[in-house]
Amino acid sequence: MERTETTPTYSSHTVSLLVENKPGVLHRIAGLFSRRGYNIASLTVGPTERPEYSRMTIVVRLSSKTVEQVVRQVQKLIPVVEVRELSPVDLIERELLLVKIRTPERNHAELRALAETYEAKIVDVSPDALVIEASGNSGKLDALEDRLAQYGIQELCRSGRIALERGFKTLAPPNLK
Amino acid sequence: MAKEKMTGAKAVVRALEAEGVEWVFGMPGGAILPIYDALYDSKKVKHVLVRHEQTGAHAAEGLAHATGKVGVCFGTSGPGATNLVTGIADAYMDSVPMVAITGNVSSALIGSDAFQEADITGITMPITKHNWLVTDVRDLPRILKEAFYIARTGRPGPVLVDIPKDVQNAELEFEYPDRVDIPGYHPPVREEPRLKDAAALIRGSSRPVIYLGGGVRTSGAYEEVAKFAELVGAPVVTTVHGKGSFPETHPRCLGMFGMHGSKFANYTVQESDLIIALGARFDDRVTGKLSTFAPEAKIVHLDVDPAEISKLVTATVPLVGDLKLLLPQLTEETRNAFQTSGRADIAPWWVKVNAWREKHPLRFTAQGEEHIMPQHVIQRIWEKTQGKAFVTTGVGKHQMFAAQYWKTSEPRHFITSGGLGTMGFCLPAAIGVQLARPDALVIGIDGDGSFQMTLQDLGTAVDLNLNIKIFILNNLFLGMVHQWQNLFYDNRLAATPLSDRPDFVKLAEAYGCLGLRARKPSELEDVLDRALAHEGGPVIVDIRTRQDEHVYPMVPAGAPLNDMIEGN
């Protein structure tokens, strides 16, 4: 007889952290993910409305149960002031994409039109290349990437996800100075 | 407190004094010299010179285990700091409060691969609750205050403070803070404890078992556990760190369960319908194969660390908090539930448990005239001392024999390396325990392999004139590995036979302490008596035990908990 544990299904989760803005904090967090075997799909870190704290957004592909574990383990790190998985329903997520397409000038008009459809901008033009900038949620950027593939992507980088929840809720605990 | 101008080094010593630290274990070196120089003047903090920093860390652990206080160890930069690593990792796994203080090369040299430079904060990040590299001397008082606070509160653990030499020499206006403010330390408890749900499960359970881990010791919740166990009336099983938190001589205590637990304890856990886990973490050494662990049991899991809840075994009812505060509430809630709604009959369960206990007791082949049996040695020492001693162990067969046969009835009296399984723990831990408890009888149960990992610190024990008694159950093997080779690797004894070197009696004499040896059963009693009666320093007893006497029962790694190999 076996213990009845549900079979895990893996999906993408957005974990948001408010951390002290001090040296070594990224190392502590990344180290915890690596030693406990949690794969990071993307990680962003940047300043917040309070200079002494930074905000990190980490995207993981894990089972919901494992994500709970991740949150609890991360919460134990001293420089982590707050950590939560953001609800996918209330999530505003954005990512930035820069992509360089190597293509002859005759295709530029077509690409301009395509970019417009995705609310993307052409930020650099040379005779045989274009650089397109787009932002949005990951799904939209994936779709744009797919469409651009046929033109020959020379180089591409994505910023990783940043996210906030809708409404008045914030990540910072009320007692935070 | 008025501010006072002093160096960083002096501030470290003042902080130790303010924290009530009596003993510090360490070894000086270039990068920590200013702190040692400042320590030289302290009338409150005494320093123990160890021969290897690992010993310092384990001795600090021993002291912390025996008292619940924070153990403190020092190391210089580079190798001094890296030698502490094993002890720090050990403390991390076993939730032992420890502050490790290391010197580092001067700030200007950090990152330049300077002589004896090591990134010890980087190295110890995964094995500390937190660590600090002090870059500004003005931060020192705050950091040291936080270090002690973090080490001893919540789920305790080791922290490390790395102080560059120039920071030790720099001056500050010293004032030791009386409180800490760490925004990220107190995780808010998000849910009200589901005490009613837990009580309902206990009320409805007809086959309950109480599982005690090291958290009971940490919390000091012995009376609270006794009251709860009294009310529920369920069998009590423990981990190796739960030993002593509930008297093992109590009729309802089944002792240790797990890989080398008794059959009856393992059967009880495995066939239970409710496991009430108190301060425990479902380690693989106690659960056996996880997917087959106690298949019918619901789980009430009470622990101070929310990250332990449902980490390995999903809790039916999680209760996060300090046992000492939360358990009395659970006891009351359960009492109410019993009174208002009655409870399931657990008498048939006890009939079953007692039948297992009678049919499958812990046993070993009686000692004949040829071989000394290791279990017999432990039983005899127990009988001669009435079990009234602190026991420290190394890691290996002797450790499991001790866990099985040393019936521990006093909290914090069975001190061992559980999570990390660090050979060499016994002697250093005994040093720490004896210093913290100068009037107590301190007994080390060690193995020949384990003892040799830290034996250089016999010198330390002799210097301190400690009456520790180390019994080496000597089978001339790395015994536990030998057992695995014997059982699972066709008895191919790759690298496990140890030569009959050194001569432990001569070694003891070389260090200026008493060495005794028993080769045959006929020599045993006299040697034990002489060792126990000896005063005026350590005694090392070399006891030649039967070589192929394995630890049984045994749940092979990855096997279900009730699938045990039996001995002869």
Name the phi and psi angles at B235, rounded to 5.
-60, 145
Asked whether the predicted pLDDT for residue A176 surpasses 80, the reply is no
Closest CA to A100 of A86, A89, A111, A85: A111
Q: Which residues of A touch B294 (CB under 8 A)?
A: 3
Which of B330, B359, B388 is the C-terminal boundary of a domain?
B359
Q: How far apart are CA B513 and CA B505, in angstroms?
A: 9
Q: How far apart are CA B366 and CA B371, in angstroms?
A: 10
Q: Are A50 and A103 found together in one domain?
A: no
Q: Cβ–Cβ of A3/B310 closer than 8 Å?
A: no
What pLDDT does B297 receive? 98
Q: Cβ–Cβ of A3/B295 closer than 8 Å?
A: yes
Q: Cβ–Cβ of A35/B126 closer than 8 Å?
A: yes
Q: Are A17 and A80 found together in one domain?
A: yes
What pLDDT does B192 receive? 80
Q: Are A106 and A140 found together in one domain?
A: yes
Catalytic-role residue among B165, B243, B298, B397: B165
Band (pLDDT 50/70/90 cuts) for residue B211 is very high
Catalytic annotation on B480? yes
- Which domain range does residue A57 map to? 10-85
CA distance A45 to chain B (A): 17
Total tally of structural domains belonging to chain A: 2
Q: Are A14 and A80 found together in one domain?
A: yes
pLDDT tens column, B376-388: 999 999 999 999 9
Q: Give domain status of residue B459, yes or no.
A: yes
Residues 8-27 of A with CB under 8 A from B: 19-20, 24, 27
Angle at A40 between CA A34 and CA A41, to 5 degrees: 160
Size of interface A-B (CB pairs under 8 A): 63
Catalytic annotation on B370? no
Asked whether the predicted pLDDT for residue B104 surpasses 80, the reply is yes
- Which domain range does residue B496 map to? 374-544
Contact with chain A for residue B125, Cβ under 8 A: yes
> For position B532, which CATH number holds?
3.40.50.970
What pLDDT does B568 receive? 61
DSSP string, B300-324: EEEES-GGGTTSSS--SEEEES-HH
Query: What mean pLDDT, rounded, does chain A reach?
Result: 92
Catalytic annotation on B282? no
Asked whether the predicted pLDDT for residue B1 surpasses 80, the reply is no
What pLDDT does A10 receive? 87
Q: How far apart are CA B258 and CA B449, in angstroms?
A: 24
Q: Give domain status of residue A173, yes or no.
A: no
Q: Which residues of A touch B305 (CB under 8 A)?
A: 76
Q: Which residues of B touch A54 (CB under 8 A)?
A: none
What spatial distance separates the first Cα and last Cα of chain A, rounded to whole Å? 53
Contact with chain B for residue A31, Cβ under 8 A: yes
Provide the sign of the torsion angle of the four alpha carbons B218, B219, B220, B225, taken in this order: negative
Q: Are B157 and B219 found together in one domain?
A: no
Which of A56, A85, A114 is the C-terminal boundary of a domain?
A85
pLDDT tens column, B322-354: 999 999 999 999 999 999 999 999 999 999 999
Q: Are A45 and A28 found together in one domain?
A: yes
What residues contact A32, with CB distance under 8 A and at least 6 apart? Answer: A73, A74, A77, B126
Asked whether the predicted pLDDT for residue B409 surpasses 80, the reply is yes
Candidates A25, A78, A81: best to mutate against B (most CBs of B within 10 A) is A78
Query: What mean pLDDT, rounded, does chain B reach?
Result: 97
pLDDT tens column, A24-48: 999 999 999 999 999 999 999 999 9
> For position B261, which CATH number holds?
3.40.50.1220
Of A27, A65, A73, the CB nearest to B125: A27
CA distance B499 to chain A (A): 38
Specify whether the backbone of B466 is left (phi greater than 0), alpha (psi in -120 to 50) or beta: beta
Q: Are B200 and B335 found together in one domain?
A: yes
Cβ–Cβ under 8 Å, residues B434 and B466: yes
- Scanning every residue of chain A, which has its alpha carbon at the shortest distance from the alpha carbon of B309? A69
Tell me the average pLDDT across B271-293.
96
Asked whether the predicted pLDDT for residue A3 surpasses 80, the reply is no
Q: Are B340 and B201 found together in one domain?
A: yes
Q: Give domain status of residue A3, yes or no.
A: no
Q: Are B399 and B258 found together in one domain?
A: no
Q: Are A154 and A134 found together in one domain?
A: yes
Q: Give domain status of residue A53, yes or no.
A: yes
- Scanning every residue of chain A, which has its alpha carbon at the shortest distance from the alpha carbon of B182? A78
Q: How far apart are CA A7 and CA B525, in angstroms?
A: 58
Which of A54, A85, A116 is the C-terminal boundary of a domain?
A85
Q: Are B418 and B540 found together in one domain?
A: yes
Please tell me the least confidently modeled range out of A24-38, A119-133, A149-163, B178-192.
Answer: B178-192
Catalytic-role residue among B3, B44, B115, B566: B115
Q: Are A102 and A133 found together in one domain?
A: yes
Contact with chain A for residue B306, Cβ under 8 A: yes
Tell me the average pLDDT across B463-468.
98
Q: Give domain status of residue B556, yes or no.
A: no
Contact with chain A for residue B296, Cβ under 8 A: yes
Q: Are B155 and B63 found together in one domain?
A: yes
Q: Give domain status of residue A61, yes or no.
A: yes
Q: Are B354 and B405 found together in one domain?
A: no
Q: Give domain status of residue B119, yes or no.
A: yes
Q: Is B74 helix (H, G, I), strand (E, B) or coil?
A: strand
Q: Give domain status of residue A112, yes or no.
A: yes
Q: Which residues of A touch B188 (CB under 8 A)?
A: 173
Asked whether the predicted pLDDT for residue A169 surpasses 90, the reply is no
Of A31, A73, A75, the CB nearest to B125: A31
Of A20, A72, A173, the CB nearest to B188: A173
Q: Is B489 helix (H, G, I), strand (E, B) or coil?
A: coil
Q: Which residues of A touch B307 (CB under 8 A)?
A: 69, 72-73, 75-76
CA distance B269 to chain A (A): 13
Q: Give domain status of residue B150, yes or no.
A: yes
Q: Are A98 and A72 found together in one domain?
A: no
Q: How far apart are CA B497 and CA B468, in angstroms?
A: 28
Q: Which residues of B touch A35 (CB under 8 A)?
A: 126
CA distance A3 to chain B (A): 5
Catalytic annotation on B116? yes
Catalytic-role residue among B53, B146, B224, B271: B53
ipTM score: 0.91
What spatial distance separates the first Cα and last Cα of chain B, rounded to whole Å? 68
Which of A58, A85, A112 is the C-terminal boundary of a domain?
A85
Q: Are A78 and A119 found together in one domain?
A: no
Partners of B71 in beta bridges:
B98
Q: How far apart are CA B311 and CA A69, in angstroms?
A: 7
Output Rg (C-alpha) for chain B, integer angstroms.
24
Contact with chain A for residue B386, Cβ under 8 A: no
Q: Give domain status of residue B560, yes or no.
A: no
Q: Are B405 and B435 found together in one domain?
A: yes
E-strand spans in B58-97?
71-75
What residues contact B281, with CB distance under 8 A and at least 6 apart? Answer: B213, B303, B305, B308, B311, B312
Total tally of structural domains belonging to chain B: 3
Q: Are B147 and B98 found together in one domain?
A: yes
Asked whether the predicted pLDDT for residue A6 surpasses 70, the reply is no
Q: Give domain status of residue A174, yes or no.
A: no
Q: Cβ–Cβ of A75/B305 closer than 8 Å?
A: no
> For position A71, which CATH number holds?
3.30.70.260
* Side chain identity, residue B528: L
Contact with chain A for residue B119, Cβ under 8 A: no
Q: Are B163 and B199 found together in one domain?
A: no
Catalytic annotation on B115? yes
Q: Are B117 and B83 found together in one domain?
A: yes
Q: Are B407 and B350 found together in one domain?
A: no
Q: Are A34 and A60 found together in one domain?
A: yes
Band (pLDDT 50/70/90 cuts) for residue A177 is low
pLDDT tens column, A82-109: 999 999 999 999 999 999 999 998 999 9
